[in-house]
Amino acid sequence: MSNITPGRDPNRAKRPQPVMMSACQSGGCGGGALARRAPPPSFSQVRVNGTEITPEAIAREIQHHPAPEPETAWKEAARALAIRELLLQEARRCEIEAEPQADEAGRIETDDDAVITALLEEKIAAAVPSDEECRRFYDVQPERFRTPDLFEAAHILIEPEGEKEGAWAEAEAQARAIIAEIGDDAAAFAEVARQMSACPSAHQDGSLGQVRRGDLLPEVQDAIEALREERTGREPVRSRYGWHVLRLARKIEGRQLPYDLVKGKIAEMLEARSWSVSAARYVAQLAAGAEIEGIVIEAAVEPGAA
């Protein structure tokens, strides 16, 4: 008997959960809006070596597999549960035992999850990348190892007094008048922001602090990045909140992180990728030797394959 005890793998927390495992093990099986919807139709009976995956189980799992079409969501949910059952059957065949463990957030895994994890840890070995492989990855994708550009920016938000276009036009005219009045004067910008901006940042002279791409609404971010330092935008920018008068104080260029600083993270990432590929290959091998009805478990795709 293979008896896997707690502490079976000190690196397990660094590895991604296998894509074939149920989303339930993340603790997200609450009764959210998706769970309250009527269950989707059952497209076919699903069995793994004679064990049925019930329509009710698929209906519960489907909330973790959003898709544009109900059939696609159903197939993904059924596939995840079929793979889960396949792994549980193999763990029983190998007489694997395991004690549930807590994740970094303190959530305790289920007995089935513990057994599946133990099976995968016993059967799968991730390739440890060499320093040469890590260095090659760093050299090929240097943009992934660069600190983000930062923009010290401020804005004055002019809200329309209503949703009608006339109100929006009045707000725009007010924003344009502000731009004409203050120009590139930083002190004048700060004073108008304190007096007229509808954003809480008015209390900080309109300052948005140091922002990076993704922090702001796309239309506002794009306009800020197009500005020169110590300049106020000559055109107000419309968002769903109103019209923005924008100013860029300065741009702080991101910097390339040295290889020695990131090589550990690169090694962890490449090892996790190797483990995921090996896990998918192992599941495909189990599926090839099993009798699976109602769903297809595809063969593993090697990295770089078309």
Which CATH topology does 2-130+264-293 take? Triger factor/SurA peptide-binding fold (1.10.4030)
CA-based nearest residue to 250, from 226, 223, 230, 233: 230
Amino acid at 272: A
- CB of 284 within 8 A of CB of 299? yes
Class level of CATH domain 150-252: alpha beta
pLDDT of residue 298: 75
Amino acid at 188: A
The pairing of beta strand 237-239 with beta strand 242-252: antiparallel
Q: What span, in angstroms and rounded, lies between the C-alpha atoms of 121 and 123?
A: 6
pLDDT of residue 26: 33
On whether the pTM is more than 0.85, the answer is no
Burial of 92 (0-12, 13-18, 19+ CB in 10 A): exposed
Q: If the chain, 306 residues long, is cut into consecutive pieces of 10 residues, what is the mean pLDDT of each piece? A: 42 45 35 40 82 93 92 92 95 92 85 93 91 96 93 97 93 97 96 96 96 93 96 96 97 94 95 92 93 82 47
Identify any residues that bridge with 289 across adjacent strands, giving them in sequence order. none
Neighbours of 219 (CB within 10 A): 13
Region(s) of the chain under CATH 1.10.4030? 2-130+264-293
pLDDT of residue 299: 62
Amino acid at 226: A
pLDDT of residue 34: 36
Region(s) of the chain under CATH 3.10.50.40? 150-252
